[in-house]
Structure 1
Amino acid sequence: MWKENEILRSRLLEEYKIFDTSPEQMYDDITAMAASICNTPIALITLVDKHRQFFKSHFGIEINQTPIEQSICNHTIKSNEAFLEIKDLRIDNRFENHPMVIGEPKIVYYFGVPLISEDGIPFGTLSVINTKIQELTNIQKNALKGLAKQVVYLLELRKKNFLLEAYRRKLEGHSKVMEEFAFIAAHDLRSPLRGVNSFLKLLESKNDHSWDEKDKQYFSFIFENVQRMDKLVLDLLDYAKSYMTHNHNAIVNTKELVSDIFKGLTKEYTINRPELLLSELPTIISSEIALTIIFQNLIANALKYQSGGKTPKIEVSCKENEAEWIFEIKDNGIGIEQDNLAIIFEPFKRLHNQSEFSGSGLGLAACKKVIESLKGTIKVTSEKNNGSRFIFTIPK
């Protein structure tokens, strides 16, 4: 049984990654407090493996380890008791010839509380030592037990931090793989679509005079579906980008960014030319790719969700407070029914069929993910047939 405990203890100490580490103030504070509470010149936080004991904190002595054969703390662990108290080491046949008993610092009194992990594995002690006989009060003993629990808490927290860091690195690796996959997939999917689109145009120009109305209608359906597929691939790529780690330190002129996006989205409008009203938008330090995804999707939606024959009008403004930028995009579109406001940021949730308004249902989901990655928020207010207002914040 003891051999099994040794294996478990060694494995636990490896998880703590604590052996042979430099002194740390939080552990030194605990030994200083233990010595003060108990009026002893020496206090130790000791970790015990198969071959030696390592003093993570040593108040009152300069050594930081001894061989396991000289470990009084090992006896504390083996005792399976709540503590081990030895009032006079000089007359205890286990320790009467101990180097620190017969030599400097000539220790006499020992009181040790075992350090026990959350899984019930004893792996060390918090101990106080004196060079003369003494007796601790129950208050002092209970205080040491409480401090021992704090040592275990710190070490368990240390282990969890290592596990979290390893998990974070693993997630980063997966995220990078998924980013690369998304870009490659988008590129490889769009290439054949562009080819199909080109050949469709060739067929249209070559055979337009010989096709009847039914042929032209079929051709139109094919052409629309190819374009829809291309848009879906682009939306999927945007959604993949929403999970990317963004560079938040770019200097972004949001007025220029919004103007360029609006021009790109409206260059093919020949009638009912959309109108853009801009307030004084700021230059901020953030992620340019993230802001591009946000404004691209919100402005594209404001242009798309319009009733027939109406001139789209989009207002983009910004306010600020001490902590954040507050952007607002307001449109004069068809609006959103109150019952649907709660679901519009969910991926693949669409409020209209493809014959009314084409789309993938990913745009607003991508916006929300990107804004959350910037530690911002987004909300919407809207009325049916009376436009929508999207408000999102970006921390300064």
Structure 2
Amino acid sequence: MKQAEIPVNEKSRLKTLEKLQLLESGPDENYDNITKLASMICGTPVSLVTLIDEKKQTFKSKIGTEISEAPREISHCSHAILNPEDIMEVKDTREDERFFDNPYTTGNPQILFYAGMPLKAYNGDVMGTLCVLDVKPNSLTAEQKDALKALAKQVENLFELRRHNLELEKTTFELKEKNSQLRNFAGIVSHDMKMPLANMIITSDLIKAKYSSNFDEEGIHYLDYLKQSSYKLSNYITGILQHYESDSLFDSSIEEFDIHDLLENIIDLLNINYNCVINLPEDNMMLNCNKIALQQIFINLIGNSLKYNNKEEIIIDVQCSNGGDFYNFAISDNGIGIPKDKQQDIFELFTIVEEIDRSGNRGNGIGLSTVKKLVTSLGGDITVESEINKGTTFKFTMHKSQCN
């Protein structure tokens, strides 16, 4: 028996095999389908997808045998991988100096025929083979060889798909880590900055109340500006925190509730001090979904309808319906509207449509981005219809599969 030489690129080959994590990936029907076809096309009782590491060869897929691995030093495939570009065919192992006294040749059952096509990874390193075996001498026709090569290409495609999936998993993990860091940072900023800002607001009021007689009109204006700027920064920080904490809303449990009760609680939370009429859905529909996430969506959308409205009487209509696989919602107002050329961008983070709201405060472009993020994560979609000085309607859906 003659042992196979070690490939010149052995270190690179083993590193690639480790990187693809093929040995740890377990059984896969996609590989099994290929070995079944190889066995049928080549007319052999045994077909394997083998992976060759430093000490042994492992059968990633197997048809016609119960063996899962074999020592590398007696492996036929160890010889096959030395020629990455072509099939190694041994028509009768008893007549080949490499295998005539191999345990698989002399054992029971005997392997008397072998044909293996090397399997290459993305960088050309050979991972193993797609091989067919027989217990009697045999040979492949030209058509069978072409078919075996074509099937080997499909195995290589699976290798490449796995590489892309691993890279995607790594990128996803890194993004989750970065998002977690951003959320933690937002929490720290919120805690460490909002208290000083609150102190600045209170202090400006105290100074104005106690020492206003010592200030001229310009000095009073500066105190008001300080207070207004502090409020603006505080609201900005709150918006960022809500945006990055929105992911945690999906940890909330699904619960049953009626839409009227949800909206009435939101109206109380908003503490509306405008002349305002909010028309609830005509039918008080029962919902079974993520109440916390839906509440946050409504708070942002109704809040915008209140802030960006220049009418003496604000009118907001809320609709809700059951549409098969989806819950459907709509919020309409008689506000200032959104220009056509800006309607496609309003859901982008930090996009601002109107410079100031009803109270003279400048928006931060975070709220609608958070709404879009929540709706998308709930398996739905959101659209906007608007006309300047007539009003705006936001329509969004929630997929019921996200409510189970």
TM-score by length of 2: 0.88
What corresponds to 2:145 in structure 1?
141
What corresponds to 1:300 in structure 2?
303
The residue identity in structure 1 corresponding to 2:20 is Y
Deviation at 1:386, TM superposition (A): 0.6
Distance 1:342 1:22, change over 3 A: closer
The residue identity in structure 2 corresponding to 1:347 is L
| Contact 1:305–1:333 under 8 Å retained in 2 | yes
Distance 1:333 1:243, change over 3 A: same
The residue identity in structure 2 corresponding to 1:261 is I
- How many percent of aligned residue pairs carry the same amino acid? 35
Give matches, 1:39-188, under 5 Å. Answer: 39-188=43-192
| Contact 1:305–1:357 under 8 Å retained in 2 | no
Deviation at 1:157, TM superposition (A): 2.6
Deviations 1:105-140 (A, max 9, x none): 122221111111122111211111222222322222
Provide the rounded CA distance (Å) in 2 between the counterparts of 1:381 and 1:88.
Answer: 76
The residue identity in structure 1 corresponding to 2:330 is E
Asked if 1:236 corresponds to 2:245, the answer is no
| Contact 2:310–2:336 under 8 Å retained in 1 | yes
Distance 1:130 1:214, change over 3 A: closer
Give the SS at the match of 1:43.
strand
Give the SS at the match of 1:380.
strand
Give the SS at the match of 1:135.
coil
Deviation at 1:358, TM superposition (A): 2.6
Asked if 1:313 corresponds to 2:311, the answer is no
Distance 1:83 1:259, change over 3 A: same
Provide the rounded CA distance (Å) in 2 between the counterparts of 1:108 and 1:266.
Answer: 86
Deviation at 1:390, TM superposition (A): 0.7
What corresponds to 2:265 in structure 1?
260
| Contact 2:384–2:395 under 8 Å retained in 1 | yes
- What's the Cα RMSD here? 2.4
Asked if 1:276 corresponds to 2:281, the answer is no
| Contact 1:294–1:367 under 8 Å retained in 2 | yes
Distance 1:36 1:177, change over 3 A: same
Give matches, 1:27-46, under 5 Å. Answer: 27-46=31-50
Provide the rounded CA distance (Å) in 1 between the counterparts of 2:295 and 2:202.
Answer: 28
Give the SS at the match of 1:393.
strand
Distance 1:130 1:318, change over 3 A: same
What corresponds to 1:218 in structure 2?
222
The residue identity in structure 2 corresponding to 1:264 is L
**Gapped runs of 5+ residues in structure 1?**
none
| Contact 1:248–1:286 under 8 Å retained in 2 | no
Deviation at 1:371, TM superposition (A): 1.7
Structure 1 stretches of 4+ with a deviation exceeding 6 A read: none
Provide the rounded CA distance (Å) in 1 between the counterparts of 2:164 and 2:41.
Answer: 30
Provide the rounded CA distance (Å) in 1 between the counterparts of 2:384 and 2:194.
Answer: 33
Q: Please, which moves more after superposition, 237-246 or 313-322?
A: 237-246
Q: Please, which moves more after superposition, 185-194 or 72-81?
A: 72-81
Give the SS at the match of 2:388.
coil
From 327, 341, 344, the equivalent of 2:343 is 341
The residue identity in structure 2 corresponding to 1:344 is I
Distance 1:218 1:56, change over 3 A: closer
Distance 1:173 1:21, change over 3 A: closer
Deviations 1:76-128 (A, max 9, x none): 11124410111111111111111111221122221111111122111211111
Provide the rounded CA distance (Å) in 2 between the counterparts of 1:364 and 1:135.
Answer: 68
| Contact 1:100–1:106 under 8 Å retained in 2 | yes
Distance 1:343 1:69, change over 3 A: closer
The residue identity in structure 1 corresponding to 2:350 is F
Provide the rounded CA distance (Å) in 2 between the counterparts of 1:251 and 1:346.
Answer: 30
| Contact 1:113–1:144 under 8 Å retained in 2 | yes
Provide the rounded CA distance (Å) in 2 between the counterparts of 1:21 and 1:235.
Answer: 43
| Contact 2:317–2:331 under 8 Å retained in 1 | yes
Provide the rounded CA distance (Å) in 2 between the counterparts of 1:212 and 1:252.
Answer: 58
**Aligned pairs, number:** 392
Distance 1:220 1:18, change over 3 A: closer
Distance 1:129 1:214, change over 3 A: closer
Deviation at 1:144, TM superposition (A): 1.4
Provide the rounded CA distance (Å) in 2 between the counterparts of 1:333 and 1:195.
Answer: 34
Asked if 1:379 corresponds to 2:380, the answer is no
**Gapped runs of 5+ residues in structure 2?**
none
Deviation at 1:292, TM superposition (A): 3.0
TM-score by length of 1: 0.90
Provide the rounded CA distance (Å) in 2 between the counterparts of 1:151 and 1:248.
Answer: 42
What corresponds to 1:328 in structure 2?
330
Deviation at 1:206, TM superposition (A): 1.8
Provide the rounded CA distance (Å) in 2 between the counterparts of 1:103 and 1:74.
Answer: 19
Deviation at 1:20, TM superposition (A): 6.8
What corresponds to 1:394 in structure 2?
398
What corresponds to 1:13 in structure 2?
17
Deviation at 1:318, TM superposition (A): 0.9
Deviation at 1:391, TM superposition (A): 0.7
| Contact 2:115–2:133 under 8 Å retained in 1 | yes
